[in-house]
Amino acid sequence: MEELTIHITEEQKGERIDKVISAIDEEWSRSQISNWVKDGHIKVNGATVKPNYKVRLEDEIAINPPLLEELDAEPENLNLDVVYEDEDVLVVNKPKGMVVHPAPGHANGTLVNGLMYHCTDLSGINGIVRPGIVHRIDKDTSGLLMVAKNDLAHASLVDQLVEKSVTRKYIALVHGHIAHDKGTVDAPIARDPKERQKMAVVDKGKHAVTHFTVLERFGDFTLVECRLETGRTHQIRVHMRYIGFPLAGDPKYGPRKTMDIGGQALHAAVIGFIHPRTKEYLEFSAPLPTEFEELLETLR
């Protein structure tokens, strides 16, 4: 497995190395990253550093996490909705209800199971537990994901995520009447100190920015397009709740009395990125799932 290499930007300089790297993958804890630094799995400009090292502009950080335990999952023909594919990248439209990668309680029927059946040439940077996975969307969120088919593509796509140059637009139905047509939520997100199964806006959390535009109003509900500037866990769900407009159907962040629609009304509608090899900007869109469209029709 090749190393994942990132270069420090102006915005990141001065931050601790564990904080910078934890922003790449939400499942990498800062304590875990500190151990990797101590064990030499992470190097700066080819040299080992201490876990409290503060990064400098244009530092080259090489990340080579230890291999994860063997994945006990088999390829499955899940008839994935592949929107685009070439030798380097793949864009897939994930259905609502599908988990992205295997985890306790979800060893089968995941996107990774489907990808393992669809193609054998997936990147190995994330280890064998999550081959090809560059970023994730929640189980009950539908829509577009980019997948890396080799390590070169994986490193490039991760760099673009870190640099916030990937276009990610979501369609969400929220509770409440949003009077203004556009807005931005700039509020840090971290694990909720009171409910560890949730994320929340926390003063010392990770920088998180969501831009939203109202698409349609339905009295007690509003349809919005949310554009992610950052990609924190549950970011849209947390941010919209924070400003008083939680997502419809959201069992974790929504109001007690919300729609029974099997999870949050959220769809990853657009994704755009620079192709790792050709350097051409590619952008893809996926229409709302039928059940989402039918929900909107009932509101109309």
Catalytic residues: 138
Structure-block tokens of residue 246: 């939680």
Q: Which residue has the tokens 């054998």?
A: 120
Q: How far is CA 123 from the centre of its chain?
A: 17
Structure-block tokens of residue 16: 């601790």
Interatomic CA distance for residues 202 and 252, integer angstroms: 17
Containing 126, the helix (H) or strand (E) segment is none
Single out the residue of 294, 211, 212, 229 nearest to residue 23, CA to CA.
Answer: 229
Cβ atoms < 10 Å from Cβ of 12: 20
Interatomic CA distance for residues 153 and 158, integer angstroms: 9
Q: Which residue has the tokens 């339905």?
A: 218
Q: Which residue has the tokens 């280890």?
A: 127
Cβ atoms < 10 Å from Cβ of 1: 14
Interatomic CA distance for residues 149 and 120, integer angstroms: 8
